[in-house]
Chains A and B, each alone.
Chain A
Amino acid sequence: MINSISDYIAWFAPYLVGFFNAAVIAIEISFLAIVISWAIGLVTTLAKSSRSRLLRWPAELYIWFVRGTPSLIQIFIIYFGIPHATGLRISPFVAGVVALAISSGAYVAEIFRSGFSAIPRGQTESALALGMSPALMMRRIILPQVIRIVVPAMTNEAINTLKNTSLLSTITIIEVTMFAQLALAQTFRPFDFLIAAALIYLIMNTILSQFAAWYERNYSLEI
């Protein structure tokens, strides 16, 4: 049936559209999850370094729980568990975004923590000595430096989140892994579709890490 390269391309072409749509879903979900995980991570770090136990304990509990449980279980809890217990209806897309954000936020928090601890005390003191409020100091002096420090580790974490979208195939989202499974079930050609899926993940992650490398080159502290 498939005898030449042109035959192969003609056979595979219809699936490309499906893969493309699946990749768009994966990118949408991971983009939202990554941005939300930064917010969760930053808030968690600040809470964890707070003097108040009321802020510290929830942050520690969250990190402890997320690091100690598999992402898949976290996804299931949010998509199957919570609606069942509360009657709340959550769409697969929203559940996917929330689950990946929560799952990544704990690691982002730890990355931020190491970033903050790398800033010398003198940076804080000189800002305070010039009459800056703690909020202004954080926004203008400390955070910009922390962000530059954490870019490499954050890139790794973003790649993880992007790859973890494949877990969302279990909650009916037609992302890249799910689409590959559907296609190979139809055609009984697992090799072709799994390699294709792998290539799509590779392309997405390569673009992501190239962007991070570009950012690092242009915004890193001069040393």
Chain B
Amino acid sequence: MGVATSNVQEQDADLLRLTSLRKSFGDAIVLDNINLSVAQSEVLAVIGPSGSGKSTLLRSINLLEVPDEGTIHLAGEEIQYSASGSAWRSARDLAKLRTSVGMVFQNFNLWPHRTVLENITEAPIRVRGISPTIARERAAELLNMIGLPDKLQEYPRRLSGGQQQRVAIARALAMEPMLMLFDEVTSALDPELVGEVLDIMSRLAESGMTMIVVTHEMGFARHVSNRTAFLYNGRIEEYGASSDVLGNPESAHTRQFLNRVLHHR
């Protein structure tokens, strides 16, 4: 464990690499030998039927979930899990690793007792020790970017779902993460509010942010993501360039899934 002394001469472009990741809840195998890597500025879409392990995969990357076995390489850090005594990490250590990864959730999870501004500045000030003045300036910039410059002093409940989710994205970005994780971030939104959130994600991708996006929005996956992974029963059933996986899938399961999703619309 500890800081991995990775070979600098190897020109390792991968920001994130998962090796042989396994996770089960009791008898149910949720992640089964997952191998996956994401390069700097790459956008990876993760699709698959519900219960296929997509969320658990994201949550493992952010260390909210503890895999049973496997290795996670994240920006030069290596975290190993093994059946015989997983790598134990202190809460402080986990927290430090998490600051380099931003996560946006299906249900926004904004803090209702804090204003939009406070939601965004809380972690930068308290966790990263940034001065409140600078944190507020940065929050104002982020609110501009997500098109909500006048909502600074508003409480989350006064915002629409789409607005709340945009604030949640801004909140994660305020920590200046190297990698952004999106866990079905439009699934809880009314259909007419989906577009405004996807727009911001597209702009983020264009700006070079490395992203992993669990989504049911096939249009988004096809047009914004470079690569797509199709998860089925905890395994990566199909993986490749998004145009191939979504346009010309090899696996019968992928075809079935895509048919169901597309006809449903």
Contact = CB atoms under 8 A, between A and B. Distances in A.
Q: Answer yes or no: are A and B bound together in one complex.
A: yes
Interface of A: 120, 122-123, 125-134, 136, 140-141, 144-145, 148, 221-223
Interface string B144-162: 0000000000010110000
Nearest to B106: A122
Contact of B171 (A122, A123, A130, A145): A130
Interface string B86-105: 00000110111011011101
A221 B110 CA distance: 13
A120 to B, nearest CB: 8
Interface stretch (B5-13, B31-39, B119-127): B119-127
A141 B207 CA distance: 31
Contacts of B92: 133
Given A129-B62, A131-B96, A136 B109 contact: no
A147 B158 CA distance: 21
**Secondary structure type dominating chain A contacts:** helix
Contact of B123 (A122, A123, A130, A223): A130
B113 interface: yes
Interface residues of B, number: 32
B98 A145 contact: no
Interface string B107-141: 11111110000000011001110000000000000
Contacts of B123: 130-132
26 contacts: A120-B107, A120-B109, A122-B105, A122-B108, A125-B109, A126-B111, A127-B111, A129-B98, A129-B103, A129-B172, A130-B98, A130-B123, A130-B171, A130-B172, A130-B175, A131-B96, A131-B127, A131-B175, A132-B126, A133-B91, A133-B92, A133-B95, A134-B91, A136-B127, A145-B111, A148-B113
